[in-house]
Structure 1
């Protein structure tokens, strides 16, 4: 449990610094913190891309939200992005959301995700594999028509 407390403290510390510099921010309580991806290498890399302002979008399957009974993101939501170990790296704010079938995700969205070579081909390859891994433990299978929640965001604060 110490790791959880340390990780929360890291997010809380970053959030406190953000609020000190942005006292008019409408959200006052420390928001949810999370890391991208399902492995250390990718999670740490994505956190750095967010810090650099390169990664400005993410794609979560609608299946995941439904399976986990999670609320869909909304424009204006704010989150603390961490690395795999839970170290807070950046604060992001959701700017736009579109629900799109996997096979209709655009090259512009792949570019905004900022991963790999930023191409749609790369995006499709790595996300198809990710969604398949995510669904496999539940006996579910990836489908090219499955709905993806394409969430655009902006990096509004980073760890100094």
Structure 2
């Protein structure tokens, strides 16, 4: 199995992280990324500002599953700020989750941000789009 460390030799400074708020969700979302169904993600602007490894356009990131094993490497293709209430159907589809609808996206992301203690309809999100460059 390929390790995070060996991938970081090939992709220097690439942070390794999992998507979601549980090991089970990390497995599901990592699988969607590997299959090319999930090509976007988002987080609160506040969390990006607090994170020293915030993404930049062109940067590489190692995606981990729920067991913290690497499953693929992505490259950030675009970043933009958008308020939660302004996320559209097209972006919801790119997130690749549930039935791909904006209704599902809003429900699940409101749950996620509320659980994290930071939900507001007006909150600013960093919306990122990416492509898979290597499947491990």
Report the TM-score, using the length of structure 2 for normalisation.
0.91
Does 1:10 find its partner at 2:3? yes
**Residue 85 of structure 1: aligned partner:** 67
SS in 2 for 1:144: coil
The structure richer in helix per residue is 1
Does 1:49 find its partner at 2:35? no
**Residue 110 of structure 2: aligned partner:** 128
Does 1:154 find its partner at 2:136? no
- 5+ residue gaps, structure 2: none
SS in 2 for 1:86: coil
- 5+ residue gaps, structure 1: 1-8, 20-27, 136-140
1:110–1:120 contact (8 Å) kept in structure 2: yes
SS in 2 for 1:143: coil
SS in 2 for 1:112: helix
1:30 to partner: Cα distance: 5.0
- In 2 relative to 1, CA 70–46 (structure 1 residues): closer, same or farther, beyond 3 Å? same
Count of residue correspondences: 136
Runs of 4+ in 1 over 4 A off after TM superposition: none
